[in-house]
Amino acid sequence: MDIEEDEIRFRPEEIQVNPQKAAENVTPAVKTVTAAKAEPVAEEEKEAIRQEMNELRRKLHMLETDNADLRLKLNDKRKLEDEIRRLRDRDDEISRELTALRAFAYNQTEDDVPSTGVSVEQMKEAIAKLRIVVIGGHSNWVYKLRNMFANWTFVNPEAGGSTDASIVEKADYAFFFTDTISHSRYYQFMKAIREKKVDFGYIHGVNIEKNIRDIYREVVVSE
């Protein structure tokens, strides 16, 4: 079978290609390669995000733990401050009571003659203006003082425990008559005196003039 040489020669330029079909044939391959390359990148990003989220959760947990510790420490600090304040107040109370006891002991050793140059009548006028609460005292003694000092309040040592100790709240001064007062009555009024921070002192004996001098020395001279 004779075939001309020109007929069997391959001529590429004579081949016609449909562009649409060529694109259809090529596109899937390109897409596959692109997807294959993109998929590992996306997984790496997800893993990085997961690690970052875990790190943030860890830091958040540490912050919450630290915050809880700080709250406990702050609570402990407040308790210590309250305890220090309570002890300081108690120390002030003890100091005031010791001062009053020293003054009382001093008055018992002083000569009855006033060293201030002020007469008893002048002393009476000075202390009569004050609001003084006297806790305790014999009935006859209280009767005499009540007639001299209408502005004063007297607490019967025999009265029941229902007597309102808050009467000392507005007092300028409170005095315990040490001769006739029970321990329960003393602590009842001392509690109110401490809470209201009222100045107080002690008096002893039924010598009215000496009582006046002691009270005057305590509330006027010592100011």
Asked whether residue 67 is assigned to any structural domain, the reply reads yes
Q: Of 63, 91, 119, which residue is a domain's last? A: 91
Q: Of 42, 60, 91, which residue is a domain's last? A: 91
Taking the whole predicted model, whether its pTM rises above 0.75 is answered as no
Do 119 and 201 sit in the same domain of this protein?
A: yes
Residue 8 reports pLDDT greater than 80: no
The sign of the dihedral angle between the CA atoms of 92, 97, 98, 102 is positive
Q: Are 104 and 200 in contact (CB under 8 A)?
A: no
Asked whether residue 202 is assigned to any structural domain, the reply reads yes
pLDDT digits (tens, 9 = 90+) for 35-77: 445 556 688 888 888 888 888 888 888 888 888 888 887 788 7
Asked whether residue 98 is assigned to any structural domain, the reply reads no
Cα–Cα distances in Å, from 170 out to 102, 111, 140, 196? 25, 32, 26, 9
Instruction: Give the mean pLDDT of 159-167.
Output: 66
Do 115 and 159 sit in the same domain of this protein?
A: yes
Decide which of 132 and 188 is more confident: 132
Do 152 and 53 sit in the same domain of this protein?
A: no
Structural domain range at position 62: 17-91
According to the model, what pLDDT value does residue 17 have? Answer: 52
pLDDT digits (tens, 9 = 90+) for 76-96: 877 777 777 776 666 666 666
Q: Are 156 and 149 in contact (CB under 8 A)?
A: no
Do 80 and 158 sit in the same domain of this protein?
A: no
Instruction: Give the mean pLDDT of 28-34.
Output: 48
Asked whether residue 49 is assigned to any structural domain, the reply reads yes
Instruction: Give the mean pLDDT of 160-183.
Output: 80
Looking at residue 129, which CATH number applies to its domain?
Answer: 3.40.50.10700
Asked whether residue 3 is assigned to any structural domain, the reply reads no
Number of compact structural domains in the chain: 2
Do 140 and 74 sit in the same domain of this protein?
A: no
